[in-house]
């Protein structure tokens, strides 16, 4: 483990503050400062940047973000046991770390940015990773206040985020929303042995950059359509989309799609055309 600051090793921090990992809070800590440094650098050049971190825990990734030049880190942590350890990091980097004691699903992050932008970087608690991502991808107006998302997920979730119709089993609502509004890729895998305690499966770091001008369509219509289409993913559109429109044939044709196609064969652009064609109906 390389030394990135004068703070004590993370294992000592965890022991001194009694931070036994709690499963209910999705706590799998990273102690390897080489790895946390790699994640921090993967988010982009951090000099002068504001970074939002969800779930800093004992602060391994937080320290890497600060050591790699982030001007300001806003870290939202729900587990109050971690606050004294995070206060030590804040004291080491005066004026650069703000710890928010709260639930990331409920905290209004943008109000802390004074109209500015931020990168979001996190080793997410597995149980709220997808709702957080969907929330960030569903923001209005678009483009959003976040400049990029660099997020650790379980690998199977990461694969569902970046999937295309070529990866049929993984391709679904999450991939359509992601592909419509962002460019997303898996950067690298992180073995289960990197975490304390070890989870059962491999994780992956995913990087998303918002599209400046996604194809125009009503997000709520898009969501209704993908809910119906992937809700019966093996059925043809002429059947599955009856949940949206009783007689969907003309509408599917207006979107330039064969009504015999199945949801998992339709690229993001096809779903966008369905939303546009639905909005255009008298
Ligand atoms: N960033 C640390 C690391 O990489 O070692 C900890 C990552 S651990 C996977 C997830 C962290 O998210 C834990 O510290 C946990 O307490 C915190 N957490 C869980 N639910 C949360 C929530 N709703 N809001 C904010 N933080 C949460």
Q: How far is CA 280 from the centre of its chain?
A: 32
Nearest atom in ligand 1 to the alpha carbon of residue 22 is 16
Residue 282 is predicted with a pLDDT of: 87
- d(CA 128, CA 7) in angstroms, rounded, equals 29
Identify the pLDDT of residue 1.
45
Considering the segment(s) 219-280 as one domain, its CATH architecture is Orthogonal Bundle (1.10)
Rg for the chain (alpha carbons), in Å? 21
Asked if residues 204 and 189 have their Cβ atoms less than 8 Å apart, the reply is yes
Tell me the domain boundaries of the chain: 10-210, 219-280
Q: Is the pLDDT of residue 161 over 60?
A: yes
Q: Read off the pTM.
A: 0.96
Q: Which atom of ligand 1 is nearest to the CA of 25?
A: 19
pLDDT digits 0-9 by tens, 108-117: 999 999 999 9
| CATH topology classification for 10-210 | Rossmann fold (3.40.50)
Q: Residue 45: which residues within 8 A CB-CB, separation 6 or more? A: 69
**Cβ-Cβ contacts under 8 Å for 162 (sequence gap 6 or more):** 175, 178, 184, 185, 186, 206
Helices 129-137 & 155-162, crossing angle to 10 degrees?
Answer: 20
CA of 202 to the centre of ligand 1 (A): 18
pLDDT, tens digit, 9 for 90 and up, residues 251-279 = 999 999 999 999 999 999 999 999 999 99
Q: Which two tokens stand for residue 218?
A: 């009503």
Q: Cβ < 6 Å from ligand 1: which residues?
A: 25-30, 54-57, 60-61, 76-79, 82, 103-105, 123, 125, 128
Give the pLDDT score at 4: 83
Collapsing DSSP to helix, strand or coil, 255 comes out as: coil
Residue whose CA is at the smallest distance from ligand 1 atom 18: 55
pLDDT digits (tens, 9 = 90+) for 81-103: 999 999 999 999 999 999 999 99
Q: Which residues in the chain belong to E strands, given as ranges?
A: 29-30, 50-54, 72-77, 97-101, 118-123, 146-154, 182-190, 195-196, 203-210
**For the chain, what percent of residues have pLDDT higher than 90?**
96
Whether residue 166 is predicted with pLDDT greater than 80 in this model: the reply is: yes
């Amino acid at each position: 483990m390389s030394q990135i600051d004068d703070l004590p090793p993370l294992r000592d921090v965890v022991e001194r503050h009694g931070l036994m990992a709690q499963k209910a809070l999705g706590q799998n800590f990273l102690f390897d400062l080489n790895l946390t440094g790699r994640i921090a650098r993967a988010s982009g050049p951090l000099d002068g940047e504001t970074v939002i971190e969800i779930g800093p825990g004992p602060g391994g990734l937080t320290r890497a973000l600060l050591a790699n030049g982030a001007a300001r880190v806003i870290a939202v942590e729900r587990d109050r046991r971690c606050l004294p350890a995070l206060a030590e990091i804040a004291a080491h980097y005066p004026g650069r770390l703000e710890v928010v004691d709260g639930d990331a699903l409920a905290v209004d992050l943008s109000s802390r940015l004074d109209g500015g932008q931020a990168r979001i970087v996190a080793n997410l608690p597995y149980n709220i990773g997808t709702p957080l991502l969907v929330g960030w991808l569903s923001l209005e107006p678009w483009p959003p206040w976040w400049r990029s998302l660099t997020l650790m997920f379980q690998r199977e979730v990461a694969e569902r985020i970046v999937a295309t119709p070529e990866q049929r089993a993984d391709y679904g609502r999450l991939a359509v929303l992601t592909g419509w509004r962002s460019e997303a890729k898996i950067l690298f895998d992180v073995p289960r042995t990197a975490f304390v305690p070890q989870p059962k499966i491999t994780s992956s770091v995913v990087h998303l950059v918002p599209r400046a001008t996604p194809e125009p369509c009503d997000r709520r219509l898009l969501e209704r359509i993908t809910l119906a289409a992937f809700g019966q993913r093996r059925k043809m559109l002429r059947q599955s989309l009856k949940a949206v429109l009783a007689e969907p044939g003309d509408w599917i044709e207006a979107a330039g799609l064969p009504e015999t196609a199945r949801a998992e064969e339709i690229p993001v652009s096809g779903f966008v055309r369905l939303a546009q064609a639905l909005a255009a109906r008298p």
